[in-house]
Amino acid sequence: MSNQKTSDILISEVGPRDRLQSVSTTMPTAHKKQWIRDLAAAGLREIEVGSFVSHKLLPQMADTGEIVAFARTLPGVFVTALAPNLHGAQDAFQAGVQKITIPVSVSEPHSLANVNKTHAQMFEQVRQIIACRNAHYPAVLVEAGLSTVFGCTIQGVVEEDDVLRMAHTMAELGVDEVGLADTVGYATPLQVHRLFTRLKHDLGELAGSAHFHNTRGQGLANVLTALDAGVTTFDASLGGIGGCPYAPGASGNIVTEDLVYLLESMGLRTGVSIEKLLVARETLKQGLPNEPLYGFIPDAGVGKNFHYAGEKA
């Protein structure tokens, strides 16, 4: 986990990965670098800059190695990337990432659709990735990002006990963090509070981030209840787009701009400037001119009574 000394809540910006993998347009590398530069300038201190996957399947991610190298030059930015298998993890390690997230689906049908692996095969991949990290890249963090934890559009219901069993397996395999993702936007506040409370109880400091989608309008409500359960790291995407190409109906990450407004208005420091996020949003618009952007704050503004946490009212 990256440094949170100047903030109460860490916002991990996942747009350069989750957003760009969900659209058919490929953003030019130079423009992607400018976008990430603007995100960093806005105060975002953890950025998931891409994924190390097959270029044939996701050509939008073909330049991830170059993007990692660029992002590592930005002061104060903790650079993360997604890696679904050993080959991708090795590429990520060599590129210089500071953390990788391994997507591990609790729903086996989704695992087969997303990474073409059974649970047993995925466990072996995690085992090999941890062994490679331990032997050659000990400073790099490894997160298991558990997906479809609140339900799956392919399997249907996903039992909470199955989620906890998967989390324990990941901890036993040696990951540094276990995050929970609402891949298809099924989560409700009661589910979120109950499951994160159990995760914190079982795994302690290994219990990691919350990754919510706003597919059914529950994203920020889920943030509030996750906060109450002790979560301090939240994934979000500038402009609010994102989704899994292999999960039918998955769409809509929570909007970074709206999340910052919510947290700061509650007196929780994020270290992120909404005004500078809007600059990054314009860069994003230019890079993907035909893609819709979402969010209330960019249209409505913050209002005259708004002030950042720590500022005098």
The residues pairing with 119 across neighbouring beta strands, listed in sequence order, are none
Long-range contacts from 225-232, C-beta under 8 angstroms, 24+ separation: 225/189, 225/190, 225/192, 225/193, 226/192, 226/193, 226/196, 227/9, 227/268, 228/193, 229/192, 229/193, 229/196, 229/197, 229/200, 230/196, 230/197, 230/200, 231/196, 231/207, 232/4, 232/8, 232/9, 232/10
Catalytic residue check, 244: yes
For residues 236 and 253, what is the distance between their CA atoms, to the nearest angstrom?
A: 6
Residue 102: name the closest of 78, 90, 113, 231 by CA. Answer: 90
The residues pairing with 211 across neighbouring beta strands, listed in sequence order, are 181, 235
Residue 85: name the closest of 57, 66, 45, 46 by CA. Answer: 57
For residues 297 and 310, what is the distance between their CA atoms, to the nearest angstrom?
A: 20
For residues 178 and 300, what is the distance between their CA atoms, to the nearest angstrom?
A: 35
For residues 268 and 285, what is the distance between their CA atoms, to the nearest angstrom?
A: 29
Catalytic hit among 144, 238, 244, 274: 244
Catalogue the active-site residues. Answer: 244
